[in-house]
Amino acid sequence: MSESVQLQPGLKGLVADWSSDQRAFKGVPWGKAMMWIFLLSDTFVFSCFLVAYMSVRMTTMVEWPNPSEVFALEAFGTPVPLLLIAIMTFILITSSGTMAMAVKFGYEKNRNVTFWLLIITALLGASFVGMQAFEWTKLIQEGVRPWSNPMGAPQFGAAFFMITGFHGTHVTFGVIFLIIIAIKVRRGDFDHERPGFMTGRKGRYEMVETMGLYWHFVDLVWVFIFAFFYLW
């Protein structure tokens, strides 16, 4: 039979309940809990960017550039709408799969497979950032700036560089931390609880899962950017 818990009445009891970490976060590692809080705050930031973009898009009196034309690439002499963006989206979705597999094999303590899955995920992320850099270079060469745009509404440049740049920064940091986690897995830091940066409890691969939460979030945000910015 479970023990009855005597709670204090009112606001004082509510604060004591949550701050005691006995019910709200029972059994949850603090690193994982803090990651969820960070992702929640980051959700608000990305939501503000996308809502601002939609507001500007619907209220501007100047014609908005057609994304299918702006982001088209030539293939065999024929312009293909959103070709690069489709490849970037496929790469990120694939990286979510490899990240999920890394978490699975991490908890099975299969160090070798976990290491290579993390490296593959990092390489896919780096490829995405490289393609985004190519996309930025192409638009800059065509005259698009945060304050001007020769193809239509000047707000297009500001929205594009802010939203994709902020997301690209997240992917870049994710790649760096994926490499750090991969090195720690390779060295066996999680098996022996070797002191150091981002090392969890002995024999536990919780940090791989925590990194997975961040990476899946970044991928999910890109789906919304893809839908609102490139398909609308």
Distance, in Å, from the CA atom of 113 to the CA atom of 216, rounded to the nearest integer, reads: 19
Instruction: Identify the pLDDT of residue 2.
Output: 42
Distance, in Å, from the CA atom of 119 to the CA atom of 125, rounded to the nearest integer, reads: 10
| HEC readout, 21-59 | CCCCCCCCCHHHHHHHHHHHHHHHHHHHHHHHHHHHHHH
60: amino acid identity, one letter:
T
pLDDT level of residue 23 (50, 70, 90 thresholds): low
Bridge partners of 79? 74
Q: What is the mean pLDDT of residues 212-221?
A: 95
CATH code that applies to domain 12-230: 1.20.120.80
Distance, in Å, from the CA atom of 144 to the CA atom of 137, rounded to the nearest integer, reads: 10
Q: Which pTM value belongs to this model? A: 0.83
Contacts within 8 Å (CB) and 24+ apart, 23-26? none
Q: What is the mean pLDDT of residues 64-92?
A: 86
Instruction: Identify the pLDDT of residue 1.
Output: 39
Residue 219 has pLDDT above 80, yes or no: yes
> Cα 33 to the chain's mean position, in Å?
17
Q: Is 232 helix (H, G, I), strand (E, B) or coil?
A: coil
